[in-house]
Every structure is written in structure tokens, then in C-alpha cells.
Amino acid sequence: MFHKELKAFPKNFLWGASTSAYQVEGAYNEDGKGLSVQDTKDVIEGTPDFKVASDHYHHYKEDIALFAEMGFKAYRFSISWSRVIPDGDGEVNLKGIEFYNNLIDELIAHDIEPIVTMYHFDLPYALQLKGGWSNRETIDAFVRYSKVLFENFGDRVRYWLTINEENMMILHGAAIGIGDSQNDNIQKDLYQQNHHMLLAQAKAMQICHTICMNAKIGPAPNITSIYPKTSKPEDVLAAQTFSAIRNWLYLDVAVYGKYNDIAWSYMVEKGIEPNMEDGDFRILREAKPDFIAFNYYCTGTVAESKIGETDLKTGGDQQISVGEYGVYKGTQNENLQKTEFGWEIDPIGFRITLREIYDRYHLPLIVTENGLGAYDKLEEDGTINDDYRIDYLKKHIEQARLAITDGVDLLGYCPWSAIDLISTHQGFKKRYGFIYVNRDEFDLKDLNRIRKKSFYWYKDVIASNGEKI
Ligand code: BGP
């Protein structure tokens, strides 16, 4: 659909960028922080551990000054659960509270709105030892943790995100480095974990509305439209099924408090539906998000998978779907180019996804991740000329504006990532930031912060409220 005239980005649009605690902070065992599952996992060969990351813990003032120089209106970051409660459900670590108080105050002093993710892939290791999300008691631990956050930071934080990419933790836990299930029936256990997370999220949303009267809260899954490989009805059906399993299962529960019917029948068919307790549906139904935050990198394309087929590859990650026998088969989209790390690039798919989510739920949306992972090069003259990143972001911002013109209520855009940090499974070399951090995979160098070309470009985008891209 073409528009003769485009709507402007809203006046108070939340331009910013994102990070997550374990990928940026470092200081993995400082000032009383407990270990998380990210600190204890076996890292993939050739990639670094998360002990130092971008050392944001010690550089946060300098980093926020740079965010302010870019003109950020918002900064989306996550709180490390095990920094605040080292063993997940015991003593509160005052030093951890102090760090996030300082961080939030520093943002506010620079007129930057904090958007806080409560949990981003880094479950406290002590909870993992007790069964992690397979253990229903982890719901209570999360509820208690959420109260600690609301009570300590709720006077200043107005935007809360519950759980980052719960759907990717269930579908691609191995790539993200989430503890493997010891259970014989892994898929059944995963959907049980999922149910517990959905309950934990629902309870946290309710508590947030009781404790922080002026705050808004929402889920933060990775959502993307799913294309059928061809117009063959079988492929369209497979795309619908995959979208239900990947996307709508998570948002239908968060928004409507009910399981998506197609996703539910998929689970029943496989005998992997979660066990429920009395009252679970009431908890899910009573919680209401104020907005939907979502991460978008590229669309997915699938074909039908016939029962008995054996050509599905194993692996996959957040944006590369492999498939499931008899359900769907991930395929490449020949119309799209790819990043150096193999993720397809689909700016129009961004508009399609924005429209699709808004059409289903009619809640305001915030984009909490979008971006290009690339091998950036620090030139001899000290510059980083990341024109490819500018090109990627520019095309996505154009599509966001078109989606707004289509009628989508979009509150903000926070691409990944504010500053270079460690990728979930592909090391430091896969950079996303506007700010270069001078370190390699294993040589920490001086960790200096250097403005990339995209830094100056994004500054102009924000200053012109998206007019000058
Ligand atoms: C999302 C995660 C982020 C981030 C991003 C890029 O799925 O929420 O934590 O890392 O993807 O992915 P990667 O680091 O694998 O390149």
C-alpha cells in the first residue's frame, strides 16, 4: 500500500537502543553478584566468556554520556537477577541495588527514559541447580525478585519488560546457552518451563500495576512474520502453524490470558502440553500488559514438512528456523539478502510484522531490538565506517514510519545494540553497536569507546525525529 503523505513519528517517540546485563556489564562476580547460567555455561569454542564483556559495570557513566550525546530518549537495558539476589531467592545484595540505582539516576539526569528488562537469558545459577524453570517454585522466586525491583526502582522506571524472548529460550535454548533439560521428554519439559514463565510474567504484571501506579509493563518476545515458501496451500498452512508456535502462543497468553488454539493442538498432538494447576488460567487471564515490546531481526520462511521426511538440518538460532518433522520446514527466502552471519535482511518484513502484531492485539508497540551484526573494522585513522549498519537501520526506520502511517501505534524504537557487546553465541566479533568497544575475542586491549559512523548518523535521525535518515 502506498501513501501520498507519511505520518511523522510521534512527538515523544522513544528513540534509543538496547543492551542486556550479561552481554554488556562484565564484573561477573564483583560486589556480591551471584553466578548466572550464562557465567557457568560452556562457551562455544573460539568465543569468549562473559566475565568482562564490555565492562559497562565500570564504564556506565562514560557510556551514558555517549548515549546522551547521540540524543537517546530511552535506553533499554536488563537487570541481572543474580546481581540483585545472588542466589535467586535469598538475600538482597545492596551493592547490586546501588549499581542499578546509580545507572537509573544517571540516565534520568541525562533525560533518558529507562526501559528495564527484568530477565534476559541469565537465570541465577543457584535456581538452575534447583531445576530452573522446570521447578514451579521458580515462579515464586521471580515474583519476589520482581517486587524487589518494583519497590527499589519503581519510583523512577516507567517502562518494564518482563522476560526477554521467552519464545527463543524455548525454541533455541541451546544456541542461547540456557541449561539443558535433564528430563527424558525434553520438549514436554520445555513447555512446562514455558508455562511457569508465563505464570511468572502474569503475576509480575499484576504486581507492577499494584506497586507502581504510573508504570507500564509488557512482554518482550522475538516476533516475526512467517512467510510460506510458495502459495501452495500446504506451505501456507505450515507457515500458519509455525507462526502460532513461534509467535502467537506467547502473545495470546500475555494479552488474552489464553493459549493459542493451533499451538495448543500442536502440543496435545505431540503429548507435550504443560500440566496445569487449579487457578492457573485465572492468573493468566487477570494479567494485562500495557504494551507489547518485541525484537525483530528478519522474517522466517517455511514450507510444509511431510511426516517421514528426514532432510531437516539440526541447529538453528533465533532467526534461523530449522523445522520439525510433520510440522514445518525452514527454508531460505530467495528474495532476501543475508548478513555476514547468515541472518536474512527484510525491512519490508518489519512493516509486515508491525502491522500483523498491531492488527491482532491493538496494543501500543515498542521495538526493543533490531539491528545488524557485522565484523566492524577499526581503521588506522581511528574511524569505523559501518555504512552497512546505517543502510540496514535506515531501511527499517523507513518501514517503521510506513507502518505508523498504516495506523500502527508505535511508541519507540530501540535497536540492538547501544554499544558493542558479546553476541549470544557468536562472540565479540559479531558487533551491533553505535559505539565501538576496543577489545577482541580474547585480548581485552584498553576497552576504549569509539564513536562509529552510525553514531553520528543516528544522532541526526533522533535530532530530526526520524525526518533526516
Ligand atoms: C536476541 C537477543 C539478544 C541479542 C540479539 C542478537 O535474540 O535478545 O540478547 O544477542 O538477539 O543475537 P546474537 O547475539 O545471537 O547475534
- 284 within a domain of the structure (yes/no): no
Domain span at 387: 14-223+289-297+340-463
pLDDT in tens, 49-97: 999 999 999 999 999 999 999 999 999 999 999 999 999 999 999 999 9
Q: Flag whether pLDDT at 40 surpasses 60.
A: yes
Bridge partners (DSSP) listed for residue 436: 450
- 133 within a domain of the structure (yes/no): yes
C-alpha cell at 435: 559505539
Amino acid at 443: D
416 lines ligand 1 (CB under 6 A): yes
C-alpha cell at 379: 581503521
* 121 Cα nearest atom in ligand 1: 9
Residues near 16 by Cβ (< 8 Å), separated by ≥ 6?
A: 67, 72, 73, 74, 75, 76, 112, 113, 115, 412, 413, 414, 418
Output phi, psi for 269, to 5 deg: -55, -40
Q: Flag whether pLDDT at 383 surpasses 90.
A: yes
pLDDT in tens, 3-39: 999 999 999 999 999 999 999 999 999 999 999 999 9
For a mutational test of ligand 1's pocket, the pick from 22, 115, 164, 318, i.e. the residue with the most ligand atoms closer than 8 A to its C-beta, is 318
The CATH number of whichever domain residue 139 belongs to comes to 3.20.20.80
CA 146 to centroid of ligand 1, rounded, Å? 23
369 lines ligand 1 (CB under 6 A): yes
Instruction: Round to whole Å and give the CA distance between 189 and 200.
Output: 16
Instruction: Calculate the CA 353 to chain-centre distance.
Output: 15
Terminal-to-terminal C-alpha distance of the chain: 21
pLDDT band of residue 183 (cuts 50, 70, 90) is low
* 317 Cα nearest atom in ligand 1: 15
Bridge partners (DSSP) listed for residue 292: 365
Above pLDDT 70, what percent of the chain?
97
| Average pLDDT value over all residues in the chain | 96
pLDDT at 310: 66
pLDDT band of residue 136 (cuts 50, 70, 90) is very high
- The SS3 of residue 24 is helix
pLDDT band of residue 176 (cuts 50, 70, 90) is confident
- 229 within a domain of the structure (yes/no): no
450: enclosing H helix or E strand:
strand 449-451
pLDDT at 29: 98
pLDDT at 311: 67
* Burial of 196 from C-beta contacts in 10 A (0-12 / 13-18 / 19+): buried
Instruction: Round to whole Å and give the CA distance between 245 and 324.
Output: 11
425 lines ligand 1 (CB under 6 A): yes
Closest among 160, 136, 166 to 148, alpha carbons compared: 160
pLDDT at 278: 96
Percent of the chain as helix, strand, coil, to the nearest 5: 40, 15, 45
Task: Please state the domain count of the chain.
Answer: 1
pLDDT band of residue 174 (cuts 50, 70, 90) is confident
pLDDT band of residue 464 (cuts 50, 70, 90) is very high
How many residues in the chain?
469
Q: Flag whether pLDDT at 347 surpasses 70.
A: yes
- 280 within a domain of the structure (yes/no): no
78 lines ligand 1 (CB under 6 A): no
Active site residues: 369
pLDDT in tens, 191-242: 999 999 999 999 999 999 999 999 999 999 999 999 999 999 999 999 999 9
C-alpha cell at 463: 535530532
172 lines ligand 1 (CB under 6 A): no
pLDDT in tens, 436-457: 999 999 999 999 999 999 999 9
The string of DSSP codes covering 123-145 is: -BHHHHHTTGGGSTHHHHHHHHH
* CB neighbourhood size of 127 (10 A): 26
pLDDT band of residue 318 (cuts 50, 70, 90) is confident
pLDDT at 177: 82
Q: Flag whether pLDDT at 180 surpasses 90.
A: no
- 349 within a domain of the structure (yes/no): yes
* 423 Cα nearest atom in ligand 1: 14
The residue assigned the cell 516507567 is 158
